Chains A and B, each alone.
Chain A
Amino acid sequence: AQRVTQPEKLLSVFKGAPVELKCNYSYSGSPELFWYVQYSRQRLQLLLRHISRESIKGFTADLNKGETSFHLKKPFAQEEDSAMYYCALDGSGNTGKLIFGQGTTLQVKP
């Protein structure tokens, strides 16, 4: 079965500290993975996708097929990074049907 797991509901760090939001997936084929972010009172928006291999707002994520992980990282957290982060999988031949993880709330303290 296809599944996305984000083990941490809440991650609290101080400004300037490194951040890693964990995401593990279960899928037998070649998945497409995404990180979406939802800032307070705003809609869900795409942060990055693994095929583009971009760095957005200082965040990066590397797909590790051996560990079936797609962890989101940022070396120095900023207060404006505080938000809800969702890892998502499109494992159905790029049909657009996303399977979301439970989400992790990132809280960056001053």
Chain B
Amino acid sequence: GAVVSQHPSRVICKSGTSVKIECRSLDFQATTMFWYRQFPKQSLMLMATSNEGSKATYEQGVEKDKFLINHASLTLSTLTVTSAHPEDSSFYICSARPGHNQPQHFGDGTRLSIL
């Protein structure tokens, strides 16, 4: 079946550093990938849609300069949290789907902790 791999699974770093999270579709191509954020005991909130070869589209309230998204190939999207601060600590999850009418497949998520 379709598999989405996310790396790293956990990151702990100091305030002010930038952190890159990778999302790969292992056995299918994805022109579109999605990035979600999940706070403790809360639901997943869509942050942005990553589009291969073009700019990402961000949901309302999500700072595009804070959360840089690059989708350089059909199997890889990256989310970079720039100049991270403690309030950016969260669980970040990506997803992708093999085709327009196909269901989404999710990565394992990345737990980001900013000290």
**Chain A residues within an 8 Å CB radius of B104:** 46, 96, 98
Q: CB-CB contacts of B11-39 with A at 8 A, as 1s and 0s?
A: 00000000000000000000010101000
* B49 CB, nearest partner CB in chain A, Å: 6
**Chain B residues within an 8 Å CB radius of A101:** 43
Interface size class, chain B: 20 to 34
Q: How many residue-residue contacts, CB under 8 A, span A and B?
A: 45
Contact B44 A86 (CB under 8 A): yes
14 A-B pairs within 8 Å (CB atoms) are namely: A43-B109, A44-B44, A44-B95, A44-B106, A46-B104, A46-B105, A86-B43, A96-B34, A96-B97, A97-B46, A97-B49, A98-B46, A100-B44, A102-B42
Main secondary structure of the interface of A (DSSP, over half): loop
Task: Please measure, in the bound complex, the distance between the C-alpha atom of A45 and the C-alpha atom of B95, giving whole angstroms.
Answer: 10
Question: Which residue of chain A is the closest to B100 with respect to CB atoms?
Answer: A94
Chain A interface residue count, CB cutoff 8 Å, equals 18
What 3 pairs between A and B have smallest CB-CB spacing?
Answer: A44-B106, A100-B43, A100-B44
